[in-house]
């Protein structure tokens, strides 16, 4: 009896001690995990380049190879230099647009039957999905609504002109921008504030800025005369628009383009390229992130003449112009701003093409704004886009 009682008590004591030991070990493990978490919060990861770090690097997207039948989308990290393909479309990519948040790309993918559909690529998941079904039609020129919920694009049906459509990304429902299908339109561009959608009307030879309220078109619009087939370039706040106009003052009967700036609140317009007989040809303008400057693609038509476009700074308020990238052996195009939020760490990405090499292909280069250093990003590539 005594031995039985002693054995029972010993078993209970041992069980109690084991439970206490397990509890202590669990408590110790929890304290250790809390300590590790505090270390990460206070000093960050121990070492290495994490995904979060890499996501903050400025990155550039472009189409390559330029000399191929079917170019595809590629991405290059401007800090590490790492390059990777994003798409492998058999019949190639026509064009693309980066989402406002920089995490998705809408692109126009060519099909075997000659049509083209819009697709989405998610940079965070590497997942692609179609968002239109353009039977016997070419769908291209995507432009994102600033809230990322919709994409406007142009659709050209066989034997017909282009019309502007909108696709809702949540439902994939598509609809014409205008109820009247007879209204043509191309090169849609949404203003950064979402208040306007610019559309080029090829029949009238004009840009129409359609107003939106509560996500719907109001029927009100502003007309800007322009025959270049493009809708221009909105300022970062969406309240101004730069657009091309045809002139021929400096070259007699030969036409060339100047740029004008329209204040969409006041209706005031002014010539950025100077008077009509100014001996310059300006083809495009890209706004700086703060809206105080632009990058111009310009060539002078006087003693400073160059065969190709060069890049210049333009101060929006004063109109002063200064050289940015000048090399008479090349023509330059498609500039964009690559920034990562670090003061003084901005780069300008652009495309250039040799005018003196018979076998030349376009190249993607970067310009360090602070140091002026030029660096090649990709050869045999074109149409760069900077991720925000």
pLDDT digits (tens, 9 = 90+) for 134-157: 999 999 999 999 999 999 999 999
- The separation between the first and the last C-alpha atoms of the chain, rounded to the nearest angstrom, is 82
d(CA 126, CA 87): 10
Which of 84-98, 169-183, 218-232 has maximum average pLDDT?
84-98
d(CA 98, CA 151): 11
Is residue 344 very low, low, confident or very high in pLDDT (cuts 50, 70, 90)? Answer: low
Q: Specify the pTM.
A: 0.84
Residue 82 predicted with pLDDT over 80: yes
d(CA 9, CA 15): 10
Chain centroid, CA 286 distance in Å: 12
Rounded mean pLDDT, 305-318: 96
**Sign (positive/negative) of CA torsion 110, 111, 117, 118?**
negative
Mean pLDDT, the chain, integer:
86
Is residue 26 very low, low, confident or very high in pLDDT (cuts 50, 70, 90)? Answer: very low
pLDDT (0 to 100) of residue 52: 41
Residue 5 phi, psi (nearest 5):
-65, -40
Rounded mean pLDDT, 192-197: 95
Is residue 277 very low, low, confident or very high in pLDDT (cuts 50, 70, 90)? Answer: confident
Alpha helices (H) in the chain, listed in sequence order: 2-43, 51-56
Q: Is the peptide bond before 65 cis (omega within 30 degrees of 0)?
A: yes
d(CA 186, CA 161): 9
d(CA 29, CA 178): 64
Topology of the domain covering 87-231: Neuraminidase (2.120.10)
Q: Are strands 216-225 and 240-247 parallel, antiparallel or unpaired?
A: unpaired
Which tokens hold the place of 285? Answer: 């303008």
d(CA 132, CA 111): 12
d(CA 36, CA 17): 29
Decide: helix, strand or coil at residue 366: strand
């Amino acid at each position: 009896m005594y031995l039985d009682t002693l054995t029972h008590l010993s078993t209970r004591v041992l069980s109690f001690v084991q439970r206490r030991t397990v509890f202590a070990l669990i408590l110790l493990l929890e304290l250790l995990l809390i300590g590790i978490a505090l270390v990460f919060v206070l000093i960050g990861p121990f070492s290495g380049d994490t995904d979060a770090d890499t996501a903050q690097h400025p990155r550039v997207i472009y189409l390559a190879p330029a000399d191929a039948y079917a170019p595809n989308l590629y991405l290059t990290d401007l800090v590490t230099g790492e390059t990777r393909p994003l798409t492998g479309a058999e019949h190639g990519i026509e064009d693309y647009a980066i989402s406002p948040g920089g995490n998705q790309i809408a692109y126009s993918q060519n099909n075997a039957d000659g049509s083209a559909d819009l697709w989405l690529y998610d940079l965070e998941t590497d997942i692609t999905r179609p968002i239109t079904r353009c039977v016997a039609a070419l769908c291209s020129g995507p432009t994102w609504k600033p809230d990322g919920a919709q994409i406007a694009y142009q659709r050209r049906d066989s034997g017909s002109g282009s019309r502007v459509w909108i696709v809702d990304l949540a439902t994939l429902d598509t609809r014409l921008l205008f109820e009247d299908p007879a209204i043509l339109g191309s090169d849609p561009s949404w203003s950064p504030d979402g208040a306007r959608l610019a559309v080029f009307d090829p029949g009238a030879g004009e840009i129409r800025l359609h107003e939106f309220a509560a996500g719907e078109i109001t029927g009100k619009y502003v007309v800007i005369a322009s025959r270049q087939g493009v809708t221009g370039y909105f300022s970062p706040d969406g309240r101004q628009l730069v657009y091309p106009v045809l002139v021929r003052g400096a070259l007699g009967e030969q036409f060339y383009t100047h740029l004008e700036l329209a204040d969409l609140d006041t209706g005031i317009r002014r010539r950025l390229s100077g008077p009509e007989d100014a001996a310059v040809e300006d083809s495009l303008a890209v706004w700086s992130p703060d809206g105080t400057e632009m990058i111009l693609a310009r060539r002078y038509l006087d003693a400073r003449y160059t065969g190709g476009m060069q890049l210049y700074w333009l101060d929006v308020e004063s109109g002063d112009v200064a050289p940015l990238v000048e090399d008479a052996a090349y023509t330059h195009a498609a500039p964009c701003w690559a920034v990562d939020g670090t003061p003084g760490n901005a780069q300008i990405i652009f495309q250039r093409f040799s005018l003196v090499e018979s076998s030349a292909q376009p190249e993607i280069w970067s310009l360090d704004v602070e140091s002026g250093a030029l660096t090649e990003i990709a050869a045999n590539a074109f149409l760069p886009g900077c991720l925000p």
